[in-house]
Amino acid sequence: MADHLERTRRYLAEVGVDGVLLFKPENRRYATGFTGSAGLALVTARDALLAVDFRYYDQAAAQAPVCEVLRGGTDLVAALAEAARPRMGRRLGFEAEFVPYAHVERWRGKFAPLELVPLNDVDRLRWVKDDAEVALIERAAGLSDAAFAHMLTVLRPGITERQAGVELEMFLRRAGAERLSFETVLASGPRSALPHGRATDRVLAAGDFVTLDYGPVVEGYTADCTRTVALGRPDERQREIYALVLAAQRCALAAVRGGFSSRALDGIARDVIEGAGYGEAFGHGLGHGIGLEIHEGPSVSPRLDVPLEPGMVLTIEPGVYLPGWGGVRIEDDVVVTSDGARVLTHAPKELIALPA
């Protein structure tokens, strides 16, 4: 936590504020170590304050030794404001993309005469991971690999998507996941054309593609894995689409390295799919950062152009989705290095045909 706190303090100088309020749980946890669901932190160049209510007095003291813990009672903001005024300059930043407008209006009155300054990029603090963070994500990715191996013994014609999804989620929890990082995607047959298709009572059948997209959490850090398998012998078009998506992913993985453009990386995979005539069927970005959130920066898409940095952990997940027919997505988690990428997800990617 000390390293994360120092990174937060360097950020203050970069954006020109005297302190920053951390209300978003992931940012608050990153800087202080506190994992509770409620609390408000303030970081300045010299101080780190954490205001919590009665439920979290002991937890905050144990988890956030880098902070002065304030027992905020029923008004955390008032307690924090009173402690903050004599300790800092005039400009106090806040997470403009997360804090509700009503909160900001109330905070202005509590913190006056300090000036509240909206900051749009506080989450960037978390984009580059340290070795300890990467190790936790890698542990989560290992659970993803084990879950996929288990599901190869579960998926078969005659069970429902919902039954398969329950098996996947129960395996992850029993294997050590503290929770799931998002609602599992499990879609079969024509429904595999839904990029975020949730499990239904549809019965799996011979000839189906089945797409699984899931993520376990280990000590707060997420993993994100997608695999698509066939039930029975895949037909020619299934083999063609699967091979196309796998080729696009492999081309993108080969290009990942520090300094490379996030937009250009998306373009590498997109060019492969567009070149085969399926550009309209790849409607989402190539990937995104993962960490304390399942979707964090940087986005790997046409919408953002930033240089990748060593230590960023990204998903690489091209897909092709054809309504009424089905779809394929293949996703791995990777750590950016100065000269390439280290893949954290090791579940097999060659097209698997399960007995039907």
pLDDT of residue 74: 82
- Domain match, 194 and 276 both: yes
- Domain match, 302 and 167 both: yes
Which CATH number does the domain housing residue 58 bear? 3.40.350.10
Last residue of a domain, one of 125, 148, 164: 125
- Domain match, 214 and 333 both: yes
Q: Which residue has the tokens 């398969």?
A: 164
Q: How many folded domains does the chain comprise? A: 2
Give 258-312 pLDDT, tens digit per residue.
999 999 999 999 999 999 999 999 999 999 999 999 999 999 999 999 999 999 9
Cα–Cα distance for residue pair 348/15, rounded to 1 Å: 44
The model carries a pTM of: 0.96
- Domain match, 203 and 119 both: no
Six token digits for residue 212: 């699984």
Cα–Cα distance for residue pair 49/319, rounded to 1 Å: 45
Helices 161-175 + 131-151 axis angle, to 10: 140
Q: Determine the structural domain holding residue 216 and report its residue range.
A: 131-354
Give 129-148 pLDDT, tens digit per residue.
999 999 999 999 999 999 99
Cα–Cα distance for residue pair 199/80, rounded to 1 Å: 44
Six token digits for residue 336: 């950016």
Q: Which residue has the tokens 């085969």?
A: 276
Which CATH number does the domain housing residue 243 bear? 3.90.230.10
Q: How many CB atoms lie within 10 A of CB 18?
A: 19
Beta-carbon-side half-sphere exposure of residue 204 (alpha carbons within 13 Å): 28
Give 252-261 pLDDT, tens digit per residue.
999 999 999 9
- Domain match, 168 and 78 both: no
